[in-house]
Chains A and B, each alone.
Chain A
Amino acid sequence: MSEPLLELRNVTFCYGLDRPVLRGCNLRIAGGDRLALAGANGSGKTTLLHLTVGLLRPASGEIVAFGRPRRREADFHEVRRRAGLLFQDTDDQLFCATVAEDVAFGPLNLGKPRAEARRIVAETLGCVGLPGFERRITYHLSGGERRLVALASVLAMQPDALLLDEPTAGLDEASTARLTEVLRGLPQAMLVVSHDRKFREAVTVQTLLLCEGRIDAGPS
């Protein structure tokens, strides 16, 4: 078995004083893994992804990422670069006015020079099938295009693993098919949250089920 990239060990989490959303949850993502995560609405899938990249902190349990346990904010800077999170709502993710600026945001933050950032932008937009979209306005894009641009902005960080939160939500069949193609062509390990069984089967090889705050290996 290859060394895990991301691992949740016995993680418990609750918002405020509510009953816990996650209760002793275990998850392991290794290089080359293609996992899907399913579960009822409100079962805590989004919460789990946010815990993995340190946007939320577990009440107990441990998060091990890229070979090291991560606890403090500073520990997670590297995790967020190497594990790209695609948000459930693209309006949260695309915050720059133009597509080029948005996709370049990550690379520029990583200290890449402008010329290099431009090259990465052109390359990743090509990779998601939107070449020439640099000057377009993010909020005038269609839902499907927006999702692909959001994916490009994640890919521009050149992550080792992808965490995708309902990437097909709100997409029509053609856009879903396009996204499926793009995702199948990517080399990264990925964990995809999706309610769409056909999509899961096309992109991933195993489905995990989040239920009662724990993960079981579900039907594939």
Chain B
Amino acid sequence: METDGCNALPARYLDRVDPRARVLLAIGVVGVVAVAGRFLTLGAALAGALVCAAVSGNPWRLLRRRLAALNAVLLLVAVVLPLTTEGTPVFHAGARPYTREGLLTAAAVVLKGNAIVLASIGLLGTLPAATLGHVLSHFYVPDKLVQLTVFTVRYLDVFRREYTRLRAAMRVRGFRPGVNRHTYRSFGYLAGMLLVRSLDRSERIAAAMKCRGFRGRYYLLDHFAFSPARDVPFAVAAALAVLALAWLEWA
């Protein structure tokens, strides 16, 4: 999810299609991949997800970082899972057998994880968070959740700035973190200060909202336009892709 992006002109194909279609496609792909078990399906999904990620305009560096983090966790699964699954032993690690069934399950988990993450980054990664919030509200996600999304994005930056300011204030007075009581106490103060400030700020924001006539209902300015010439081909292709995956799995 991107916290900005509105200042960039939408140039890439994905940025021009109706964001609702993107979100639906992502939900469809992730849904099928999550329940799929056949390697053919998972392989096809991974390939599709790779294409999505490649054309999405996400920087490669970011993709690599995300995938590295994911696969570090999946590696652990891949090492442990075959040991704990019953079945035909293939080879032994110490006294424990690695089973065929276990290896296959582990491979499926790795494929699934990568396909889901790549598809999400590719389809949703460059969607501005505010837009995602709006999409959710068009899908009748409860108002409170939508507001939470939109506000979180708006104030993440403010909190990060506040944190940086407090940290800088500590640093200019010679604070160097170490393994000692002074460090723990100082970080305790820092966390407490952030909490109190956040609370104060939320009260002031609520006041500002009241001043502008807020009575609990959040209205959206943006209305997405479904343009047939642009969105129908995408929607059809997206629907076919999801159907194809489902067909590979269940036919």
List the interface of chain A (C-beta within 8 A of B).
Answer: 50, 53, 55, 77, 80-81, 84-85, 87, 89, 91-93, 95-98, 100-101, 104-106, 108-110, 114, 117-118, 121, 135-140, 153-154, 157
Contact = CB atoms under 8 A, between A and B. Distances in A.
A80 B211 contact: yes
B209 interface: yes
B209 A95 contact: yes
B205 interface: yes
A29 to B, nearest CB: 17
| Most A C-beta atoms less than 10 A away, residue of B128, B207, B211, B215 | B211
11 contacts: A55-B211, A85-B211, A92-B201, A95-B151, A97-B130, A108-B219, A109-B215, A109-B219, A117-B221, A136-B7, A139-B154
Main secondary structure of the interface of A (DSSP, over half): helix
B6 A97 contact: yes
B154 A96 contact: yes
A117 B223 CA distance: 13
Interface in B8-29: none
Nearest to A117: B221
Interface residues of B, number: 31
B213 interface: yes
A162 to B, nearest CB: 12
A56 to B, nearest CB: 9
A91 to B, nearest CB: 6
Given A80-B211, A80-B213, A87 B129 contact: no
Contact of B6 (A55, A98, A121): A98
B204 A139 contact: no
Contacts of B7: 135-137, 140
Given A55-B207, A109-B219, A140 B212 contact: no
Contacts of A101: 130, 220-222
| Most A C-beta atoms less than 10 A away, residue of B157, B208, B212, B215 | B212
B4 interface: yes
Given A53-B211, A92-B207, 7 more contacts: A50-B207, A92-B205, A95-B154, A97-B128, A98-B130, A105-B214, A109-B217
B212 A105 contact: yes
B221 A100 contact: yes
A137 B131 CA distance: 12
A80 B205 contact: no
Contacts of A85: 211
Contact of A157 (B130, B150, B208, B213): B213
Nearest to A140: B4
B154 A138 contact: yes
A90 B99 CA distance: 62
Given A77-B213, A80-B213, A118 B221 contact: yes
A95 B210 CA distance: 12
Contacts of B208: 87, 92-93, 95
